[in-house]
């Protein structure tokens, strides 16, 4: 073994951490046996045990002591079971949320944004561009456009200080419903620069239209996440409703004619 | 208008979306004038304008504001409100689902898959690798590993013929619950080749662990979508439980927990 190489147990640790961090080994997965890991890394039990102990100490691996170790929470997942802010979500997973505001501007809406927010021709919006972090690591670029009535509440708010969502809610803004569209996008130059990644890297994108209780659009936003730092998780069950459609006027989402 | 009917603007939206989604109104086609749409749907301008604004917001319709609106690129969304197969989803949006099987193999599970499916050391799985298409356009690469008991039902099934999900369900396999993890990933060489894109292009990735009603893992799968051809959409509402309960005698029916 060359003198410049990291100790074996550290290389095993980093390799296992990378597999878990990338999601290749997802939360809840039972780890291969120590014997299998020894074979894979061509090592004795010592380094493997040391690596597992390190990861267990970090909570990346849980269990063990009689029970087989499994992958713990590592790449934090956001759920859509409730509608929460990045700040609330970060706290819920034990991470410190952070934000740096790159721009707060009032300007005429683009035609796309004007259409989404149902603004008239040349209507203005308040645009906010921020980079959001988890434990100080830049994780997401947030681009939001608010209708004036909502965005004006940001004039006296330090957007670096925390949650816009909490601030606006405290001002009585009814951020009630959202429609999220999720896809993937290549990092542009700005994304790459503020997230510290290469241009063209795949980012997880969430576009969001937020409305009040009456269905009035208040904000359109686009969040771009580094996929190795945050993902989305959804659990569902096979639809147990009968194939016969049951008209239910209270569920206006089932808007099929 | 019957009480169970969706609001007029929504019915107009869905009808226009269906025409565009089905290709009846192809990309680049100039839409009928607002006046013509009002006549056709027997409505005032309000619902027609709201429908056009919604479709414009989604990019289904582009242009407008002075210029005549035209049909844009339609990117169909998958919802997680129910648990459905690619085949069912494709049909629901008026597209013909297709599949080409690149591999059907029985082999020892990788340690990741073995861990997820709770197999013993060296346990075998049935692996299926397919490229899925919408109206003949390669849209998604599907990699699935089934436990033997389930995968053996594929031995006498032509995986090019349609839905594995429907076939397995018809054999009594209880594909009941799934946990989906969604992120983005760069296309590898195989993805790029079968999807006809450049290596490194961002793909929308959905990883899925499917269990039966008793929580037993049956299948682990990874689907990689071209984001310009399919995305995911989720609607949710703010969690209306308030941290501080505010007693309101006039609203005691809305029993907050």
Per-residue model confidence as pLDDT tens digits over A156-215 = 899 888 889 999 999 999 998 888 889 999 999 999 999 999 999 999 999 998 999 888
Query: Which of B57, B181, B186 has the CB atom closest to A233's CB atom?
Result: B181
Identify all chain B residues contacting A220, using CB atoms and an 8 Å cutoff. Answer: 57
Identify all chain A residues contacting B119, using CB atoms and an 8 Å cutoff. Answer: none
Identify all chain B residues contacting A225, using CB atoms and an 8 Å cutoff. Answer: 183-184
A165 CB-near residues (< 8 Å, 6+ apart): A85, A86, A87, A88, A175
Q: With an 8 Å Cβ cutoff, are B233 and A183 in contact?
A: no
List the domains of chain B with CATH numbers.
Answer: 8-71 (1.10.10.10), 83-228 (3.40.1410.10)
Q: With an 8 Å Cβ cutoff, are B81 and A203 in contact?
A: no
Tell me, what's the pLDDT at B228?
85
Backbone angles phi, psi at A204, to 5 degrees: -85, 120
Q: Which of B13, B184, B203, B211 to mutate to test the interface with A (most CBs of A within 10 A)?
A: B184
Tokens of B68: 């005549």
DSSP per residue over B9-32, as a string?
HHHHHHHHHHHHHTTSS-TTPBPP
Q: With an 8 Å Cβ cutoff, are B204 and A183 in contact?
A: yes
Q: With an 8 Å Cβ cutoff, are A23 and B181 in contact?
A: yes
Determine which of A144-148, A249-253, B144-148, B172-176 has the lowest per-residue pLDDT on average: A249-253
Q: Per-residue confidence at A154, pLDDT binned at 50, 70, 90? A: very high
**Alpha-carbon distance A197 to nearest alpha carbon in chain B (angstroms):** 13
A47-59 pLDDT, tens digit each:
998 888 777 766 6
Q: With an 8 Å Cβ cutoff, are B233 and A179 in contact?
A: yes
Nearest residue on chain B to A248, alpha-carbon basis: B4
Q: With an 8 Å Cβ cutoff, are A201 and B186 in contact?
A: yes
DSSP per residue over A22-82, as a string?
TTSS-TTPBPPPHHHHHHHHT--HHHHHHHHHHHHHHTSEE--TTSPPEE-S-S-EE-SSS
Nearest residue on chain B to A116, alpha-carbon basis: B57
Identify all chain B residues contacting A237, using CB atoms and an 8 Å cutoff. Answer: 83, 176-178
Q: How many CB atoms lie within 10 A of CB A39?
A: 12
Determine which of A114-123, A160-169, A244-253, B142-151 has the lowest per-residue pLDDT on average: A244-253
Average pLDDT, chain B: 82
Identify all chain B residues contacting A204, using CB atoms and an 8 Å cutoff. Answer: 182-184
Identify all chain A residues contacting B83, using CB atoms and an 8 Å cutoff. Answer: 236-239
pLDDT at residue B244 tops 50: no
Determine which of A140-154, A199-213, B69-83, B160-174 has the lowest per-residue pLDDT on average: B69-83
């Amino acid at each position: 073994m060359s003198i410049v190489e990291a100790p074996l147990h550290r290389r095993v640790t980093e390799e296992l951490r990378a597999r878990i961090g990338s999601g290749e080994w997802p939360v809840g997965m039972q780890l291969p046996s120590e014997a299998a890991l020894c074979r894979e890394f061509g090592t004795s039990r010592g380094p493997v045990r040391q690596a597992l102990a390190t990861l267990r100490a970090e909570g990346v691996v849980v269990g063990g002591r009689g029970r087989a170790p499994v992958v713990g929470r590592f790449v934090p997942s956001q759920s859509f079971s409730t509608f929460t802010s990045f700040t609330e979500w970060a706290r819920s997973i034990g991470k410190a949320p952070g934000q740096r505001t790159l721009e707060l501007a009032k300007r005429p809406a683009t035609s796309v944004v004007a259409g989404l927010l149902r603004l008239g021709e040349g209507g203005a919006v308040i645009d906010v561009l921020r980079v959001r972090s988890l434990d100080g690591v830049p994780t997401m670029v947030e681009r939001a456009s608010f209708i004036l009535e909502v965005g004006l509440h940001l004039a006296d708010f330090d957007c670096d200080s925390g949650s816009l969502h909490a601030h606006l809610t405290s001002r009585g803004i009814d951020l009630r419903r959202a429609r999220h569209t999720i896809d993937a996008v290549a990092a542009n130059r700005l994304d790459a620069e503020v997230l510290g990644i290469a241009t063209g890297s795949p980012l997880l994108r969430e576009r969001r239209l937020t409305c009040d209780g009456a269905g009035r659009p208040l904000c359109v936003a686009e969040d771009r996440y580094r996929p190795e730092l945050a993902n989305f998780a959804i659990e569902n069950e096979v639809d147990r409703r009968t194939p016969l459609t049951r008209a239910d006027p209270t569920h206006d989402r089932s808007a099929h004619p």
